[in-house]
Structure 1
Amino acid sequence: MKRKPTMLIAYCLLFLTFIGCKKDDDGDMSQNPIDQLPPLTQTGENTFGCLLDGKPFLPGNGGNPLDCVYQFVNGGYYFALQANREIDLNLIRLGCNTQNLEINQDGVYVLKENISGNASGKYFFETHLNYTSNTHTGELTITKLDFDNHIVSGTFWYDVEDHNGIVHEIREGRFDMLFSQ
Structure 2
Amino acid sequence: MCLCAMLLLCTISCENDDSPECQGIDCLPPITQTGAGTFGCLVNGEPYFAFGGVNAQYQLVNGSYNLLIGFDRDVGFPESISIIGNGQINENGQYILGDPTNEILFGNIVFSYNEQSLEFNENTTSNLHLGTTTITKLDETNQIISGTFEFEILNLENNQVYQITEGRFDSFYTN
TM-score between both structures, scaled by the size of structure 2:
0.79
**Which residue in the other structure is 2:134 paired with?**
141
Alpha-carbon distance in structure 2 between the residues aligned to 1:25 and 1:87: 29
Instruction: Assess if the C-alpha contact under 8 Å between 2:129 and 2:152 holds in 1.
Output: yes
Question: 1:117–1:171: structure 2 CA closer, same or farther, 3 Å change rule?
Answer: closer
The residue number in structure 2 matching 1:6 is none
Counterpart Cα distance in 2 of 1:38 and 1:141: 17
Residue identity opposite 2:167 in structure 1: G
- Looking at structure 2, the residues matched to 67 and 85 of structure 1 have their Cα atoms a distance apart, in angstroms, of 12
| TM-aligned CA deviation for residue 180 of structure 1 | 0.2
Q: Select 1:125's aligned residue among 111, 114, 117.
A: 111
Q: CA deviation at 1:65?
A: 3.9
The one-character-per-residue Cα deviations of 1:101-135 (angstroms, maximum 9, x if unpaired) are 11100000000011275210011011211100000
**What is the deviation of 1:27?**
3.5
Matched, 1:96 2:83: yes
Give the deviation of 1:24 after TM superposition.
Answer: 8.9
Match of 1:36 in 2: 27
Asked if 1:85 is matched to 2:80, the reply is no
Change (3 A) 1:91 1:56: closer
Q: Structure 2 matches for 1:1-181, cutoff 5 A?
A: 27-28=20-21, 31-59=22-50, 65-88=53-76, 92-99=79-86, 101-115=87-101, 118-126=104-112, 127-164=120-157, 165-181=159-175
% identical equivalent positions:
38
Q: What is the alpha-carbon distance in structure 2 between the residues aligned to residue 72 and residue 40 of structure 1?
A: 27
Q: Between Structure 1 and Structure 2, how many residues are aligned? A: 152
Letter paired with 1:92: E
Measured at CA, do residues 117 and 158 of structure 1 come closer, stay the same or move farther in structure 2, by a change above 3 Å?
closer
- 5+ unaligned residues in a row in structure 1: which ranges? 1-22
Provide the rounded CA distance (Å) in 2 between the counterparts of 1:40 and 1:91. Answer: 22
Q: Aligned Cα RMSD in Å?
A: 2.2
Cα offset for 1:32?
3.9
Aligned partner of 1:169: which letter? Q
* Residue ranges of structure 2 left out of the alignment (5+ in a row): 1-15, 113-119
